[in-house]
Homo-oligomer: A and B are copies of this chain.
């Protein structure tokens, strides 16, 4: 019961929350991580990315790429071909996200498996997309 109210140290916890908030802020939205992962297999052009991430509209893709550029995860290079060729590439700094990406990816995989088991056992569960 709660006759002994828990006193939080607070400190570490608050710092951790602030740090997570920063990360969430930079990676915010549905598309930033998917774009980064798509670029992992090599530089891509605008249309390539649109095709790979099906369902993303050019407006959003453009916006997300700009933010990724500002955060120095992605570079944008224009070649004077015709029609113009624009190549997007990952930066060295984007590699610092690798561990985050791996953990999120692993977790997603195991969670999906778990959900499948749960639904076979007919337990209530939130559905995936």
Contacts and interface: CB of A to CB of B under 8 A. Distances in A.
Given A107-B97, A126-B71, A38 B17 contact: yes
Interface string A71-113: 1100000010000010100000000110111011111111110
Interface residues of A, number: 59
Nearest to A85: B2
Contacts of A17: 33-34, 37-38, 53
Given A17-B34, A21-B34, A70-B125, A43 B6 contact: yes
A109 B34 CA distance: 22
A106 B71 contact: no
Contacts of A42: 6, 8
A2 B79 contact: yes
A108 B13 contact: no
Nearest to A98: B103
B112 A45 contact: no
Query: 5 closest A-B pairs (Cβ-Cβ)?
Result: A19-B108, A6-B42, A22-B108, A23-B108, A8-B41
Interface of A: 1-2, 6, 8-10, 13, 15-26, 30, 33-34, 37-38, 40-45, 52-53, 67, 70-72, 79, 85, 87, 96-97, 99-101, 103-112, 124-126, 128-129
